[in-house]
Structure 1
């Protein structure tokens, strides 16, 4: 399991660090830990693409990220705690870093406060944008499902 899921993720993370901004998630506003290329939303984007690439299907819930808890702790913990909301089972057309073949307009994940007060949003192409609550309400959401983390059963890795 390590070789099929975690190893490609580690390689992809290393390549992203070497490549710098080219191909990694980009932020349209000031960068802090929460919104940075290594922050929780960026980690969710990387996990989503890595899982889709290695498993040949999109993740269907937090249980699919259990084996990544150590390598991407902020993203996984953000979802488990309910601070990040992920739209699950979304088919990605492009799992390469930067996801240029995926929509830059569809929401894939977001901070739980975004619908009410705005904040940072992960787009389907894995870029990160800051949106107001009104912009978020008007933005198209990727076709998938939202899982209540309190009801999710997490696989032990």
Structure 2
């Protein structure tokens, strides 16, 4: 009887841990973060700026930083992320001085919506209409 008294709670605990808390068999578990490449692109653009206040002018300006930011570099090179060339990321002191302007975005954003990178470093989800209306970095 004592064995059953200890065994029953142990089995119940094991079942609870094994099955989890969700009644649904579908889980939205952790997966790749679709905004991660854009955050890295922001870091890449900031690091590649030739002088403060000016951004890289072309893909070749990013090549030297490919080993440091491989995911971002490949996203830009492949066209998955579109960059506004020549536009600069805001510096740390400028970030709080107003809203951001779109400096990079996923390729499908103009037609389907998706994630955009603002020159403040913030990544936002936008619809295609929101993107069309959003200010673009220059």
Please, what TM-score do these two structures have when normalized by structure 2? Answer: 0.69
Contact 2:45-2:88 within 8 A present in 1 as well? no
Q: Equivalent residue for 1:121?
A: 116
- CA distance, structure 2, for counterparts of residue 79 and residue 66 of structure 1: 11
- CA distance, structure 2, for counterparts of residue 31 and residue 100 of structure 1: 29
Q: Does 1:140 align with 2:135?
A: yes
Q: Equivalent residue for 2:4?
A: none
Which aligned pairs between 1:59-78 and structure 2 lie closer than 5 A? 59-78=56-75
- CA distance, structure 1, for counterparts of residue 56 and residue 97 of structure 2: 16
Contact 2:88-2:119 within 8 A present in 1 as well? no
Q: Equivalent residue for 1:43?
A: 40
- CA distance, structure 1, for counterparts of residue 109 and residue 80 of structure 2: 10
Deviations 1:30-60 (A, max 9, x none): 984221xxx21111111111222xx314200
Higher relative contact order (CA 8 A, sep 6+): 1
Q: Equivalent residue for 1:83?
A: 80
- CA distance, structure 2, for counterparts of residue 62 and residue 111 of structure 1: 16
Q: Which has the larger radius of gyration?
A: 2
Number of equivalenced pairs = 107
Please, what TM-score do these two structures have when normalized by structure 1? Answer: 0.61
1:93 shift after superposition = 4.4
- CA distance, structure 2, for counterparts of residue 33 and residue 128 of structure 1: 11
SS of the equivalent of 2:120 reads: coil
- CA distance, structure 2, for counterparts of residue 73 and residue 132 of structure 1: 28
Gap runs ≥5 in structure 1 = 1-29, 144-157
SS of the equivalent of 1:88 reads: coil
